[in-house]
Structure 1
Amino acid sequence: MIFSVMASGTTCRLLQRRLSSTVAAATATRPSMAELRGRRSEVFGREQARQRALYPRIEKIEVQLHGPGLDGTTLIMNKGLSTPLSCAKHLTEFHVTDSAVAMVDGELWSLHRPLTRSCSLSLHSFRDADPALVNQAYWRSCASLLGQVMETSFKDDFLVELLSAPELPVTSGAFCHDVVLDPQLDSWLPTEESLRSLSRGAQQLIHQNLVWEPLEVAPPVALEVFSHSRFKQEEVEKMAAESPQGNVTLYRCGDHVLLSAGPLVARTGLCNQYEVTAVHSLGSGPGGLQRRVQGLSLPLQLQAHHTVWRKLRARAEKQVGVPVAPEASPPPPDAPTPISDPTPSATPSV
């Protein structure tokens, strides 16, 4: 009987060692988040260079400007190379720093997207009499920034799967991004300090004044970019099916590449007050435990008194009214204890 018990204990230890070795081997073979970002940025850069090479000979186009004090102004620009921001640089410093998006022949356009034909152009900022389209692009950009923060704030050996960033009106009170964290973090419970740490991560990206570079690509290119994300590949196929041209638009911010359903503002520096306000559990989904991360922000040109900001923040803490996944079942009695610090000291501590 004693031998049997000892043998059982030895077998258990051997099985534990084998399991640990298997997990360690799987972790060693899978690419880290830094490697994934590097690969995605590399594919983006390669396709960007290929598209620019399609215009080996400089051709001129006429850009008719519209807006206060600009009606009747015509600029001669370079086809496939010049952008709305290039046009703004021919005007004043105010147009360069204040503009958030452009309108090209009635279509909302990123400031960094090249112009490929003669067209009419107007520049738009948060000071417009009707800033609805600019505000929506800003809200979408803030949600994209939130996804970037979530992907870069944890230790590199924790995988973070970015799901969708639901299109929400500014009147919803918060923007959001859905994510699935590494299974090792399923028991992680965000604290106020965690939210402050994520907010500091966003502020770091804002202070870097990074450009949101747009690139319209065919689905195969986007599928290569997101070859390690089944969810993103499905999102690519869905967006391509809904696009009249059958293409999708990628954006690169630093080394972070993302999909977007619409234009983003020119740069992260246009954000000012920015806080990550809440992390809500959406329950179990196909990829694991899904969470909805929410935030609140105001652009550089608009600022709120701290008392008003506190009221806005309290509203932004409540889960926004968008479809959610079924609630997760209660954790078993032997569920692991919460992880308190999954992030490295070199990055914001969550």
Structure 2
Amino acid sequence: MFQISLRLTTLGSCSSSSSSIVFPLGKIFDRFLGKRLQSSLPASNYDYILDRSESNRLRNEIFDDEKKRQSQLIPRVEKIQVNVTNVKPYEDATLIMNKHLSTPYHCAQHFSQLITERSIIAAIDGKHLWDMHRPLTNDCNLQFRHFKDEDPTEVNRAFWRSCSFLLGMIVQRAFKSDIPVYLHSWPKPSIKSGCFIYDVQLPTLHDWKPDKEEIRSLTGMFWKLNASTKGHFERLDVKPSVAKEIFKDNKFKSQQVDDIEKEIGSEGKISLYRLSDHIDFSVGPMIPDPSHIGRVSVACVHKLDSDIENLYRFQGVATPSKLPIHFYPYRILLDRASKPRTNMIPQSRN
């Protein structure tokens, strides 16, 4: 499937039973462990750095507590009517589902495995885009969206957005404990840019220029994450006060929550997403889970001309698993994504 030869043997062996991907890389990581990057994705469990582990633990505790609190506000199970249309090759259907519990994914299961596996997002009442695993809240008309739609623009944006989320997840775990990592943000998905992006502050790395081996290792971690992550994206809409508590150890995220609160008010809602134990916020929607990502590469890392000290832009490229692509055209996409993008550079608020 993947033509780039890379073996993450020192990351924890990857057997054929857990993934069909073979990562031919060994000696590279023997050199890397003494440099900046380290593996945080062994074959069975994540081996987190202690301080980041504590931060993740606290974030997830808050997320779980809020999720539990919201679920307790649902007094009883109510039924809703979901009219599913344009489900080719099947006929339209009306489904009776559970309010606040049933999701578009559950609706898709009433049709076939084909519909379930190919659907990326849903459209509610022709105007609201919805995550496949996000519970439905009212009677509605529902359509499934996938990569082979006549107009897959919103599906592609969800794919690019999800890849940026995962790129931040990778970068957060890639560096050794003596190197601080502060996720900043990613620009709004732009298909024409040819790459997905995450901007990250590495305050102790003043002029880092990663070599090819370091880029390959980040790519290898991406592959490993996709192969080992079995869960789906969880969405939780919370008040700004909850988001502030979750991101209190990240000054950039905290500032962004403050900015959002000024627009929506203290009673408004901010959408959080969680995959495994990584939490970030986004308007969404996201793809259902990482299995929809096929070929993927970290293309380049470069320092941005920003008044935020040591802000680096990580760029990547990916293609959907349902749309196989030959190595040669993928190489063209990778070469294009490797060109540094210098648009929408974040600046400090001062």
TM norm. shorter chain > 0.5:
yes
Match of 2:119 in 1: 99
Q: Which residue of 1 aligns with 2:219?
A: 199
Deviation for aligned residue 1:161? 0.3
306 and 291 in structure 1: CA distance in 2 versus 1, 3 angstrom threshold: same
Identity in percent: 38
Distance in structure 2 (CA, Å) of the matches to 1:125 and 1:325: 32
Which one is further off, 232-241 or 91-100?
Answer: 232-241
2:304 is paired with a residue of what secondary structure?
A: strand
Residue identity matched to 1:192: K
Query: What is the deviation of 1:233?
Result: 1.1
Partner of 1:168: 189
Q: Distance in 2 between matches of 1:125 and 1:240?
A: 33
Asked if structure 2 preserves the Cα contact closer than 8 Å seen for 1:249 and 1:261, the reply is yes
Name the counterpart of 1:41: 60
Bigger radius of gyration among the two: 1
Residue in 2 that maps onto 1:181? 202
Measured after TM superposition, the shift of residue 277 of structure 1 is 0.4
Cα shift at 1:158: 2.9
- 1:250 matched residue in structure 2: 272
Q: CA deviation at 1:228?
A: 0.7
How many matched pairs? 295
For the pair 1:234 / 2:293, whether they are aligned, the reply is no
Closer/same/farther in 2, CA of residues 193 and 212 from structure 1, 3 Å limit: same
Kept in 1, the 8 Å contact 2:80–2:99? The answer is: yes
SS at match of 2:298: strand
Question: What is the CA distance between 1:182 and its match in structure 2?
Answer: 4.5
1:1-350 equivalences under 5 Å are 32-67=51-86, 68-70=88-90, 72-105=92-125, 106-183=127-204, 185-207=205-227, 208-243=229-264, 246-283=268-305, 285-286=307-308, 288-324=309-345
Q: Alpha carbons of 1:70 and 1:218: their partners in 2 closer, same or farther (altered >3 Å)?
A: farther
TM-score when scaled to structure 1?
Answer: 0.80
Instruction: Specify the alignment match of 1:341 in structure 2.
Output: none
Cα offset for 1:284?
5.3
Once the two structures are TM-superposed, the CA of residue 113 in structure 1 deviates from its matched residue by: 1.1
Secondary structure at the aligned position of 1:33 is classed as helix
1:274-312 deviations in whole A, cap 9, x for unaligned? Answer: 0000001014544x3100000000011112221111111
Contact kept, 8 Å, 1:33 with 1:160, in 2: the verdict is no
Unpaired runs of 5+ residues, structure 1, are 1-29, 327-350
Q: TM-score if structure 2 supplies the norm length?
A: 0.80
Report the Cα distance in structure 2 between the residues aligned to 1:260 and 1:275, rounded to whole angstroms: 22
Question: Which segment is superposed worse, 265-274 or 186-195?
Answer: 186-195
- Take 1:267 and 1:232, find their aligned partners in 2: how far apart are those partners? 24
SS for the counterpart of 1:32 is: helix
Matched residues in 2 for 1:292 and 1:323: separation?
11
CA distance in 2, matches of 1:114, 1:155: 38
Question: 1:275 touches 1:296 (CA, 8 Å); kept in 2?
Answer: yes
Which one has a larger percent helix, Structure 1 or Structure 2?
1
SS at match of 1:45: helix
Q: Secondary structure in 1 aligned to 2:185?
A: coil
